[in-house]
Amino acid sequence: MTLTLSYSNPSLKGTIQVPGDKSISHRAIMFGSMASGTTTVEGFLLGDDCLSTISCFRKLGVGIELDGKTVTITSGGEASWQEPSEVLDTGNSGTTTRLMLGLLAGTSFHSVMAGDESIAKRPMKRIINPLREMGADIRGRQDGQFTPLAVQGTTLSAINYTLPVASAQVKSAILLAALKAEGKTVITEPVATRDHTEIMLEHFGAVITRRNGSIELEGGQKLTAAHVQVPGDISSAAFMIGAALITGQSEVVLTNVGSNPTRTGILDVIEQMGADFDLKERAVEGEPSADLTIRSSKLNGIEIGGDLIPRLIDEIPLIALIATQAHGTTVIKDAEELRVKETDRIAAVVAELSKMGADITATEDGMIINGPTPLTGAEMKTYGDHRLGMMAAVAALAATGEVQIDDPDCIAVSFPNFVEQMNSLIN
């Protein structure tokens, strides 16, 4: 089904609570399934990716009940998981696939994981290599590079590992495997990535030591059930931020948005571009969150690269779009990881924004955008990638003419009802 969007100088006003954080929602299900007792999760993201995680843990025998955005997980702990009689379907979710590899590697049973067409193309060796060093028995196409993956659970031993790619998924898979391994695991991160796993490990009672870019975890630790409060997802908020910035006379309030510093690169970027916004931190336990007020702004092009990239990796399609409306040149570099996301996001963003009239060029590790350029209606492809779908919908606000989006359903991976919510802000 194609979605057609057409606006005439829209102005956005109002308050929105964006859906729960995707990374934290996945982890809450995983940690609640590993812990003994009853874990409750509030503000859970009812997006397709996190529902895939729930379905996988149900197949391991964990009791998981959903009541609106509240999830109750009743588990006898990791030792009570059962060998699944079906393939664990991870859908479109890289986080489910990769983090679960770390968990399944240390069980005493056999399991098979597979996802959709996009998952079947995403690199898994980055996870399997360190897990194999720990003793894991994992098989898959091209020596384990691609799904479907078969895991024969076994005894694991600790490792010392320096991450070759800045990836929270790799770090997290090793940390989860390390919980069951014999000995002390030490992971070194040359560049900091999101630390939701570390925060949640402590929240569920594990002891970890974090110093100077390294994390130490002693194996054999058991987790205790906990209550998890999930803040709004800053990666989802980013699209509302972009919508307010590039439309005239807009003022949007986004309440309770996660403001973990490993995720707020988008705020650093819009500040440097000259955006008009206020941030009010809220007092919460565990993961920090804030209320954000964002207004229409005249933006300038900037250079984005280095250590900032992992702090905004999922926001780059949206940043590219706002750069088309900024004055001057925006250069995005050091972002070659975009080539192995849900789709090749460098190629896809450049192809789709070019169709609308943007002056945008792909480079090996990023893109160069000259602005401002007027945007015109076009037939936009999502490549089955939720963030490409939202980029196209936000671009429609600033475009003249009709924007058609070929597969809007994929947006539900991280932000169900995104277009309805965005439209509800239009006066």
Show binding-site residues: 22-23, 27, 94, 122, 167, 169, 314, 341, 345, 387
Task: Return the number of the residue (168 or 396) whose C-beta is nearest ligand S3P.
Answer: 168
- Positions at the binding site for 3-phosphoshikimate: 22-23, 27, 167, 169, 314, 341
Least Å distance, CB 80 to ligand S3P, is 25
Least Å distance, CB 189 to ligand S3P, is 11
**Nearest-CA neighbor of 365 among 345, 392, 390, 342?**
345
> How far lies 18's CA from each of 200, 230, 255, in Å?
21, 11, 7
Task: Return the number of the residue (176 or 397) whose C-beta is nearest ligand S3P.
Answer: 176
Both tokens of 406, joined, read 């070929």
Q: Which residues pair with 392 in a beta bridge?
A: none
Buried b (16+ CB within 10 A) or exposed e, 195-212: bbbbbbbebbebebeeee
Q: Which residues pair with 361 in a beta bridge?
A: 368
Give the DSSP H/E element, type plus range, for residue 354: helix 345-355
Cα separation, 152 vs 226, in Å, equals 29
Q: Rounded to a whole number, what is the distance in angstroms from the first to the last CA of the chain? A: 27
Least Å distance, CB 53 to ligand S3P, is 11
Q: What is the DSSP track for 389-409?
A: HHHHHHHHHHEES-EEES-GG
- Positions at the binding site for phosphoenolpyruvate: 22, 94, 122, 169, 345, 387
Task: Return the number of the residue (30 or 267) whose C-beta is nearest ligand S3P.
Answer: 30
Beta carbons of 206 and 223 less than 8 angstroms apart = yes
Beta carbons of 167 and 192 less than 8 angstroms apart = no
CA 232 to chain centre: 12
- Residues at the contact surface with ligand S3P, assessed by CB under 6 A: 23, 95, 167-169, 172, 194, 313-314, 337
**Angle, nearest 10°, between helix axes 22-34 and 94-104?**
20
Task: Return the number of the residue (169 or 264) whose C-beta is nearest ligand S3P.
Answer: 169
Least Å distance, CB 159 to ligand S3P, is 18
Task: Return the number of the residue (372 or 384) whose C-beta is nearest ligand S3P.
Answer: 384
Of 48, 195, 233, 314, the active-site residue reads: 314
Which residues, including other chains, have CB under 8 Å from residue 67's CB and lie 6 or more apart? none
Task: Return the number of the residue (10 or 140) whose C-beta is nearest ligand S3P.
Answer: 140
For CA atoms 236, 241, 244, 245, give the dihedral sign.
negative
Q: Clarify whether 291 is annotated catalytic.
A: no
**Residue the block writes with tokens 């994981």:** 113
CA 75 to chain centre: 26
Q: What is the DSSP track for 296-332?
A: ----B--EE-GGGGGGTGGGHHHHHHHHHTSBEEEEE
Least Å distance, CB 124 to ligand S3P, is 11
- Omega within 30 of 0 (cis) for the link into 416: no
Both tokens of 180, joined, read 């069951």
Least Å distance, CB 151 to ligand S3P, is 19
Least Å distance, CB 101 to ligand S3P, is 13
Task: Return the number of the residue (138 or 313) whose C-beta is nearest ligand S3P.
Answer: 313
Residues annotated as catalytic are 314
